[in-house]
Copies of this chain bind each other. A is one copy, B any other.
Amino acid sequence: MQSWKKLGVIAGGGELPVVLAEHCETTGRPYFIARVSPFADPALDRHPGATHGLGAMGARIDAMRAAGVDALILLGQVPRPDIGSLKLDAAAMAMLPAVVAAMGQGDDALLRALLAEHEKAGFRVVGVEEVMADLLATSGAWGAVTPDERQLRDLKRAALIADAINKFDVGQGVVVCGGLVLAVEAQEGTDAMLRRVADLPLTVRGSADKRRGVLVKRPKPIQERRIDLPTIGVRTIEGAASAGLAGIAVEAGGALAVRRDEIVAAANRAGLFVYGFTPEEVAP
Contacts and interface: CB of A to CB of B under 8 A. Distances in A.
Interface of A: 79-82, 103-107, 157, 160-161, 164-165, 167-171, 175, 178-188, 192, 196, 199-204
Chain A interface, DSSP helix/strand/loop, else mixed: loop
A184 B185 CA distance: 7
Given A79-B203, A161-B165, A187 B192 contact: no
Given A79-B203, A80-B203, A203-B79, A181 B170 contact: yes
Contacts of A178: 103-104
Given A164-B164, A203-B79, A183 B179 contact: no
A81 B168 CA distance: 33
A185 B164 CA distance: 15
Nearest to A205: B187
Q: Which of the listed residues A106, A180, A202 has the most CB atoms from chain B within 10 Å of its own CB?
A: A180
A217 to B, nearest CB: 15
B179 A103 contact: yes
Contacts of A200: 187-188
B80 A179 contact: no
Contact of A80 (B103, B168, B181, B204): B204
Contacts of A161: 165, 168, 170
A63 B106 CA distance: 54
Given A107-B180, A164-B168, 4 more contacts: A160-B168, A164-B165, A165-B184, A180-B187
